[in-house]
């Protein structure tokens, strides 16, 4: 045959985009190993969008120039508080989207968890309330995952149904009114700080590391990527695809439950309408963060930047007195802009042959 022996020319592996041109500073022994480790696990996919961190930086600079209060500790505490719940929900959403699914029900899951948690907590105490919240998240996740894997309903429809069901349940249980009477020691979580850092921010950072760890370092995490990247390949390699998908939905709902706890503490009541916009915001943050809706690509690091972008944009526009209607419009345009830039970068990279 006349074709090339090797099929394709062998190209040298490309350096991760973030690291190109700037070699890591020389460190000794253990230090170098750490650098190597971080590079290996925080590389290409994590920083697939070098554009997004830059966009976040640009936002910060712009709002600092435009508003005297933007770059203050108080304001950043504010941003952190607002971002914490969205971050948790988005990290969970990231698991599902990595399997090429989507969870539209996270918003009403937050509402349901809030109502159940408050109802239990006001009579049986904080621990029971938190356990009830997590149990609710678990049940929602198992049902979502079960409908997707056993009944083979496409994720969009399955979770759309759950959106309605969970919302209906939340409204029924609470009779449509806020559930009050939560202990102060619980609601104070939202106000407490360690040093200058609000506790909800600490919680979300801690859970960020949990998500990062699970996705990068565990077998389950690897299988989440495998299922989303090529489901058939995963199946033929002996990965229990259905179990992995089910577990991803459970992770998603558990993270949503954690987000619901923070929001519930902040509003000091169980709210049946909590988190109405959080489903779309979380998908926005995840997609902005470079996670492919087709699954298998992206990382929770990118998602964290996505959350930062959405939160800082909202906060800054508030400070500038932009109406919330206009903010929605700007957020939509920003989403398109960031994705367009990302496509462009991706295309350049492809043409460069890396």
Torsion of CA 58, 61, 67, 68, to 10 degrees: 160
Tell me if 225 contacts other proteins by CB under 8 A. yes
Per rule CB under 8 A, is residue 276 in the interface with other proteins? no
107 vs 290, beta carbon nearer other proteins: 290
Binding part of the chain for other proteins, among 119-127, 202-210, 238-246, 261-269 by CB under 8 A, reads 238-246
Tell me whether residue 57 or residue 217 sits nearer to other proteins (CB atom): 217
Closest distance to other proteins from the beta carbon of 52 (Å):
19
Coil vs helix vs strand at 179: strand
Q: Examine residue 240 and tell whether it contacts other proteins (CB under 8 A).
A: yes
Report the nearest approach of other proteins to the CB of residue 275 (Å): 30
239 binds other proteins, rule: CB under 8 A: yes
CB of 290 vs other proteins, minimal distance in Å: 12
# chain residues binding other proteins, by CB under 8 A: 33
Strand partners, 325: none
Closest to 248 in 3D by CA, of 264, 227, 276, 232: 227
**Mask: binding to other proteins, 287-306, rule CB under 8 A, as x and -?**
---------xx---------
Exactly one of 133, 163, 226, 245 binds other proteins (CB under 8 A); that residue is 226
Cα 103 to Cα 35: distance, rounded to the nearest angstrom: 35
Contact 110, 263 (CB under 8 A): yes
C-alpha torsion sign, points 226, 231, 236, 239: positive
Residue in 54, 154, 236, 276 binding other proteins, rule: CB under 8 A: 236
The answer to whether 299 touches 135, Cβ cutoff 8 Å, is no
CA distance 183 to 194: 20
C-alpha atoms less than 13 angstroms from C-alpha of 171 in its C-beta half-sphere: 9
Q: Which of 39, 122, 222, 349 is in the footprint of other proteins by CB under 8 A? A: 222
The pattern of x and - marking residues 165 through 204 that bind other proteins according to CB under 8 A reads: ----------------------------------------
Question: Looking at beta carbons only, is 3 or 68 nearer to other proteins?
Answer: 3
When asked if residue 30 is in the footprint of other proteins (CB under 8 A), the reply is no
Q: Give the one residue of 219, 333, 344, 348 binding other proteins; rule: CB under 8 A.
A: 219
Identity of the residue, 122 or 235, whose beta carbon is nearer to other proteins in the bound complex = 235
Please report whether residue 5 would count as binding other proteins according to CB under 8 A.
yes
**Can you tell me the distance from the alpha carbon of 336 to that of 196, in angstroms, rounded to the nearest whole number?**
35
Q: What is the DSSP letter of 188?
A: G
What sign results for the dihedral spanned by CA atoms 61, 62, 63, 65? positive
Q: How far is the CB of 8 from other proteins (least distance, A)?
A: 4
Dihedral, CA of residue 82, residue 83, residue 86 and residue 90, to nearest 10: 180
| CB closer to other proteins out of 192 and 209 | 209
The closest of 272, 288, 229 to 90, measured between CA atoms, is 288
Least distance (Å) between residue 236 CB and other proteins: 4
Chain-centroid distance of CA 345 in Å reads 23
Q: Which stretch binds other proteins (CB under 8 A): 55-63, 117-125, 214-222, 329-337?
A: 214-222
Minimum CB distance to other proteins smaller for 40 or for 123: 40
Residues with Cβ within 8 Å of 222's Cβ and at least 6 positions away in sequence, in order, are none
Does residue 321 interact with other proteins by CB under 8 A?
Answer: no
Measured between alpha carbons, how far is 297 from 301 in angstroms, rounded to an integer? Answer: 12
Q: Identify whether the C-beta of residue 253 lies closer than 8 Å to the C-beta of residue 92.
A: yes
> Which parts of this chain interact with other proteins (CB under 8 A)?
1-8, 10-11, 13, 40, 45, 217-220, 222, 225-226, 229-230, 232-240, 296-297
């Amino acid at each position: 045959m006349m074709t090339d022996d090797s099929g394709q020319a062998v190209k040298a592996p490309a350096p991760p985009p973030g690291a190109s041109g700037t070699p890591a500073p020389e460190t000794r022994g253990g230090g170098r190993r750490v650098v190597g480790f971080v590079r290996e696990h925080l590389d290409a996919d994590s920083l697939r969008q070098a554009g997004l961190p830059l966009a976040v930086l640009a936002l910060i600079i712009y709002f600092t120039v435009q508003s005297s209060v933007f770059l203050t500790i108080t304001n950043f505490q504010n941003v952190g508080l607002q971002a914490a719940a969205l971050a948790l929900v988005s990290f969970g959403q990231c698991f599902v989207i990595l399997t090429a699914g989507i969870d539209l029900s996270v918003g009403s899951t937050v509402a349901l968890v809030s109502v159940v948690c408050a109802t239990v907590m006001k009579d049986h105490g904080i621990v029971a309330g938190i356990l009830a919240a997590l149990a609710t998240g678990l049940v929602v996740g198992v049902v979502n995952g079960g409908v997707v894997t056993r009944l083979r309903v496409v994720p969009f429809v399955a979770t759309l149904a759950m959106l309605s069901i969970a919302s209906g349940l939340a409204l029924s249980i609470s009779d449509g009114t806020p559930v009050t009477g939560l202990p102060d020691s619980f609601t104070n979580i939202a106000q407490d700080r360690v040093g200058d850092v609000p506790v909800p921010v600490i919680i979300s950072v801690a859970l960020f590391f949990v998500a990062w760890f699970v996705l990068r370092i565990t077998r389950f995490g690897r299988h989440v990527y495998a299922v989303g990247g090529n489901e058939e390949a995963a199946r033929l390699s002996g990965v229990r695809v259905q179990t992995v998908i089910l577990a991803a939905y459970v992770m998603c709902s558990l993270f949503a439950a954690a987000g619901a706890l923070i929001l519930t503490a902040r509003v000091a009541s169980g709210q049946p309408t909590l988190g109405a916009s959080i489903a779309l915001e979380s998908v926005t943050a995840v997609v902005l963060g470079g996670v492919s809706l087709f699954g298998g690509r992206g990382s929770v690091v990118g998602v964290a930047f996505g959350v930062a972008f959405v939160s800082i944009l909202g906060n800054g526009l508030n400070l500038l007195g932009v109406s919330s209607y206009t903010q929605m419009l700007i957020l939509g345009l920003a989403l398109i802009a960031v994705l367009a830039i990302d496509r462009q970068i991706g295309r350049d990279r492809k043409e460069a042959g890396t």
